[in-house]
């Protein structure tokens, strides 16, 4: 009996140690990916495109897109994480949206494609001034990624904006005091229209830039 207890306790200790090691490894892996994910993604894109300058530039454009979300979130006083990069899947940030109105949430979602497209436009201008086919191609991919993100699909920025527009149009506005709902107002449809106008304007501009930067047989 005593021997069985000793074996049981030993197994419990081993199991506890294994869980602790696994949790530490998972946490370390998460931190490693969080702080070095940008460079890992840049290396992956460089390998894929056979050009370290192009791969690094693409990673920078993705970072600029995420910085748009971060800047708007911080402007609104929201908690936001540093971008988590996943090679060939882009990057994402986590924003604390609890208590946000649909309009404010929509602004956070739109900020990424807006700032990301401005970054691509800067690359386009520099490429045109220097007659760089590589920079022109990089700008085109930047516009393509931001245009894709504006599609009204659930997990994309455009999907979040579409949901914000729907909520602003249909969901009553609740006034809270001390965390307690005190009064309900009619849906803020004026905000829904404003958000749709912003979304449509940005989407049209990005698509036009995408078409204007179509590569003409340029190589990387």
pLDDT above 90 coverage of the chain, percent: 58
The predicted pLDDT at position 216 comes to 67
Task: Say what the pLDDT of residue 35 is.
Answer: 65
What is the number of helices (H) and of strands (E) in the chain? 6, 4
pTM of the model: 0.78
User: Is the confidence at residue 135, as pLDDT, over 90?
Assistant: yes
pLDDT for the residue 193 = 94
Neighbours of 56 (CB within 10 A): 18
Q: What is the DSSP letter of 102?
A: H
Count Cα neighbours of 11 within 13 Å in the Cβ-side half-sphere.
6
Residue pLDDT, tens place only, 21-73? 444 434 445 455 566 889 999 999 999 999 999 999 999 999 999 999 999 99
Determine the average pLDDT of the residues in 195-216: 94
- Which positions ≥6 away from 170 have C-beta within 8 Å? 187
* Cα–Cα distance list, 17 to 30, 50, 146 (Å): 20, 44, 45
User: CB–CB of 138/54 below 8 Å?
Assistant: yes
DSSP string, 18-67: HHHHHHHHHHHHHHHHHHHHHHHHHHHHHHHHT-HHHHHHHHHHHHHHHH
Task: Please state, in angstroms and rounded to a whole number, the distance separating the CA atoms of residues 77 and 96.
Answer: 10
Taking 80 as the threshold, does the pLDDT of residue 117 lie above it?
A: yes
Backbone torsions φ then ψ of 8, nearest 5 degrees: -65, -45
pLDDT of 32: 53
User: 149 near 162, Cβ under 8 Å?
Assistant: no
Maximum distance among all Cα pairs of the chain, rounded to whole angstroms: 83
- Between CA 206 and CA 197 the distance in angstroms is 14
């Amino acid at each position: 009996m005593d021997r069985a207890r000793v074996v049981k306790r030993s197994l419990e200790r081993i199991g506890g140690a294994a869980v602790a090691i696994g949790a530490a490894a998972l946490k370390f892996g998460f931190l490693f990916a969080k702080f070095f994910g940008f460079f890992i993604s840049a290396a992956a894109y460089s390998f894929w495109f056979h050009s370290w300058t192009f791969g690094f530039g693409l990673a920078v454009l993705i970072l600029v897109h995420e910085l748009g979300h971060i800047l708007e979130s911080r402007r609104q006083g929201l908690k936001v994480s540093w971008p988590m990069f996943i090679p060939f899947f882009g990057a994402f940030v986590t924003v604390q949206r609890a208590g946000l109105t649909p309009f404010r949430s929509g602004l956070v979602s739109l900020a990424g494609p807006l700032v990301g497209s401005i970054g691509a436009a800067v690359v386009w201008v520099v490429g045109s001034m220097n007659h760089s086919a590589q920079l022109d191609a990089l700008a085109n991919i930047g516009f393509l990624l931001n245009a894709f993100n504006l599609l009204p699909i659930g997990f994309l920025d455009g999907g979040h904006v579409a949901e914000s527009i729907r909520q602003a149009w249909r969901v009553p506005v609740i006034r809270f005091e001390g965390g307690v709902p005190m009064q309900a107002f009619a849906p803020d449809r004026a905000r829904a229209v404003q958000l749709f106008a912003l979304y449509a304007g940005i989407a049209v501009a990005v698509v036009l830039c995408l078409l204007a930067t179509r590569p003409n047989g340029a190589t990387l």
